[in-house]
């Protein structure tokens, strides 16, 4: 580990030296490239420098204690040795975390798909509440949310909504939300006051860059049609909605959020690229189907990553066994505690060498 850290530190110093070269400073593109490379390793390099300094002080204190004959001075050196040892140990743990492999998708934008699962209209209403919860959460972290497609019910629920979430670390913040979300409560549609269990599914995909996925014209069909809604003024009388069918994979994407056909087309292609990126990364259709199932399951009540129990005001994440008794604020986007706990669990699993 120490050799690897030394190599990172030497690269950091080398990059700093290159960036101070007048020739590089005059070349904006080259300087930006080097600055980005340095930025990626700066935290690790600076932490290692702090560790190296603590280790140097430790060695000096140990040598001084051996040479010192005065009991009081020896005692002072002993105290300094203990302090340096403690600092070195703490910094080593921090450095272990910094050396963990980074998820290459963490800094990407992402596509979030929310669908009502088992439970009819109540599932659709819960899907809407999840949608609203994520919008609040994203706004809090200055992430931009754009609707790509939304299929609403007459009672204000959502059968399906597809969102494009953009901003620094969008995928990192949202990636743990993939799966079946289960709600336990008395539905508004229930007159007998009985607690029902319904579900909604969430899938979070990293947004693909244009260069990562090649979409050939002969592999797709683009259909234009009138967008639909819950009725009344929401029904569009012009053909602005877009449906793209990708023949090789069978993936179909629709977008009817914008009044502009061109904007809908751009959004639909963003979603298609992300789904194809996910598809090709899993190499084949059966693996893709299994991966999609791992993200959202089948929507069955028994398949859940999280339960929202309204009578008890409790939200429980079953992957890490964490329960929070702050459901009201949680549904208003205050989900940072849960996201951080899931992030810590992922980090601990990586440190233990387990698959996550």
What is the share, in percent, of the chain residues with pLDDT greater than 70? 87
pLDDT higher at 165 or 97 = 165
Residue 258: predicted pLDDT: 67
Quote the longest CA-to-CA distance of the chain. Answer: 94
Residue 233, pLDDT > 70, answer no
The pLDDT confidence band at residue 308, using thresholds 50, 70 and 90, is very high
Residue 309, pLDDT > 80, answer yes
How large is the average pLDDT for residues 53-72?
A: 90
| Prediction pTM value | 0.68
| Closest by Cα among 181, 169, 65 to 113 | 181
According to the per-residue pLDDT averaged within each range, which of 57-61, 101-105, 187-191 is highest?
57-61
pLDDT higher at 303 or 318 = 318
Whole-Å CA distances, 92 to 50, 226, 240: 10, 60, 57
Q: Name the token pair of 342.
A: 């899931």
Residue 147, pLDDT > 50, answer yes
According to the per-residue pLDDT averaged within each range, which of 28-42, 165-179, 338-352 is highest?
165-179
C-alpha to C-alpha distance for 24 and 38, rounded to whole angstroms:
14
Cα-Cα end-to-end distance for the chain: 22
The pLDDT confidence band at residue 175, using thresholds 50, 70 and 90, is very high
Residue 183, pLDDT > 80, answer yes
Residue 356, pLDDT > 50, answer no
Residue pair 257/268 in contact by the 8 Å Cβ criterion: no
How large is the average pLDDT for residues 88-103?
A: 84
The pLDDT confidence band at residue 47, using thresholds 50, 70 and 90, is very high
The pLDDT confidence band at residue 295, using thresholds 50, 70 and 90, is very low
Residues 158, 159, 162, 168, CA torsion sign: positive
What is the share, in percent, of the chain residues with pLDDT greater than 90? 47
Burial class (CB in 10 A: 0-12, 13-18, 19+), 24: middle
Residue 85: predicted pLDDT: 93
Q: Name the token pair of 347.
A: 């980090």
Q: Does domain 110-349 have CATH number 3.30.70.1660?
A: yes
Residue 348 neighbours by CB distance under 10 Å: 13
Residue pair 197/306 in contact by the 8 Å Cβ criterion: no
How large is the average pLDDT for residues 16-27?
A: 90
The one-character DSSP state at 218 is G
How large is the average pLDDT for residues 326-345?
A: 94
- Within the chain, residue ranges assigned H as helices are 2-19, 22-25, 28-67, 71-98, 120-140, 170-174, 261-281, 285-296, 327-330, 336-351
C-alpha to C-alpha distance for 70 and 97, rounded to whole angstroms:
41
Domain boundaries along the sequence of the chain: 2-98, 110-349
- Within 116-199, residue ranges assigned H as helices are 120-140, 170-174
Residue 296: predicted pLDDT: 44
Residues comprising the chain, all counted: 356
C-alpha to C-alpha distance for 208 and 190, rounded to whole angstroms:
43
The one-character DSSP state at 200 is E
């Amino acid at each position: 580990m120490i050799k690897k850290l030394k190599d990172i530190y030497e690269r950091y110093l080398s990059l700093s030296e290159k960036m101070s070269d007048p020739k590089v400073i005059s070349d904006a593109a080259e300087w930006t490239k080097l600055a980005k490379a340095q930025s990626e390793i700066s935290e690790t390099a600076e932490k290692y420098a702090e560790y190296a300094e603590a280790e140097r002080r430790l060695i000096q204190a140990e040598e001084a204690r051996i040479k010192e004959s005065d009991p009081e001075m020896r005692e002072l050196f002993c105290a300094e040795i203990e302090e340096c040892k403690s600092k070195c140990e703490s910094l080593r743990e921090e450095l272990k975390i910094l050396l963990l492999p980074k998820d290459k998708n963490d800094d990407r934008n992402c596509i979030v798909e929310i669908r009502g699962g088992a439970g009819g209209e109540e599932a659709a209403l819960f899907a809407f509440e999840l949608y609203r919860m994520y919008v609040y959460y994203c706004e809090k972290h200055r992430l931009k949310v754009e609707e790509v497609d939304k299929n609403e019910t007459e009672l204000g629920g959502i059968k399906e909504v597809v969102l494009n979430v953009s901003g620094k670390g969008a995928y990192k913040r949202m990636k743990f939300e993939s799966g079946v979300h289960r709600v336990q409560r008395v539905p508004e549609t229930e007159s007998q006051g009985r607690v029902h269990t319904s579900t909604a599914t969430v899938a979070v995909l990293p947004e693909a860059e244009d260069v990562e996925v090649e979409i050939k014209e002969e592999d797709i069909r683009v259909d234009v049609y009138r967008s639909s809604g819950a009725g009344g003024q929401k029904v569009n009388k012009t053909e602005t909605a877009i449906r793209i069918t990708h023949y090789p994979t069978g993936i179909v994407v629709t977008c009817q959020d914008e009044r502009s056909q061109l904007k809908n087309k751009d959004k639909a292609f963003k979603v298609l690229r992300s789904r194809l990126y996910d598809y090709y990364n899993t190499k084949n259709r059966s693996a893709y189907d299994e991966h999609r199932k791992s993200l959202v399951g089948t929507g069955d009540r028994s398949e859940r990553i999280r339960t929202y129990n309204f009578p008890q005001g409790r939200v429980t994440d079953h992957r890490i066994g964490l329960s929070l008794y702050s459901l009201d604020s949680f549904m208003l986007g205050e989900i940072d505690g849960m996201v951080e706990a899931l992030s810590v669990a992922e980090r601990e699993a990586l440190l233990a060498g387990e698959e996550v």
